[in-house]
Amino acid sequence: MTDMCLPTATAEEGRAAFGNDFNPDKTLNGAIALAAAGDLAVPAVALMRAVFACPAADARLREAMILRTAVRLNCVYAVHASTRIALNSGLSEAEVETLTVGGPVAGIDPDIVLIARMADDIADRATLGGDLLEAAIERWGVDNTRKLILMLSWFNLVNRYENACRVPIDSDEKLARSSGPT
């Protein structure tokens, strides 16, 4: 097996996808990899921004989704970045540790447990069991459940993309204050 990675976006590609928000010293490598996707870059970045701005999930719940999906899909890049970002976004060390174990998530905030179970089901089976769908609707309502499922599906796509492109790990310096991809 090779250690080859796909080339990252050029500064021009980054500016085309992100506009004035693009800063290669602060933008995470996973987001930069999206900017290299040619004519798919702008809509991908637009969806990424929408996902990160979605009020259906606060920063803690969103980062729990990202981290648990990365763990389930064995995305080394995202596990590394998301572990740090989750802590920056208010998840406790105990919550982060629980989300990164291989077995079922339990013993932490019930919302995070539920979203982790949903992340596991979508990553492992590409669907949600009826019990999880019912629990999510009961907890968050129909509209927010749809949004959370779309967010979880986006994180599955992004993790698979980052794995396949072999996105290089971000530096600890870049992640130190990061609370998202840009």
We report the CATH number of the domain holding residue 78 as 1.20.1290.10
| Whether residue 100 is found in the same domain as residue 120 | yes
Identify which has the larger pLDDT, 176 or 62.
Answer: 62
Q: Identity (one letter) of the amino acid at 28?
A: L
Between CA 155 and CA 82 the distance in angstroms is: 11
174 token code pair: 């870049």
How many of the other CB atoms lie within 10 Å of CB of 110? 10
Q: What is the pTM of this model?
A: 0.92
The parent domain of residue 108 ranges over 59-165
54 token code pair: 């979605």
| Whether residue 20 is found in the same domain as residue 101 | no
pLDDT exceeds 60 at position 1: no
Find, among 158, 149, 153, 150, the residue nearest to 181 by Cα: 158
| Whether residue 21 is found in the same domain as residue 66 | no
Q: Find where tokens 């590394």 sit.
A: 80
Encode pLDDT of 57-100 as tens digits: 999 999 999 999 999 999 999 999 999 999 999 999 999 999 99
pLDDT of residue 5: 80
Average pLDDT, the chain: 93
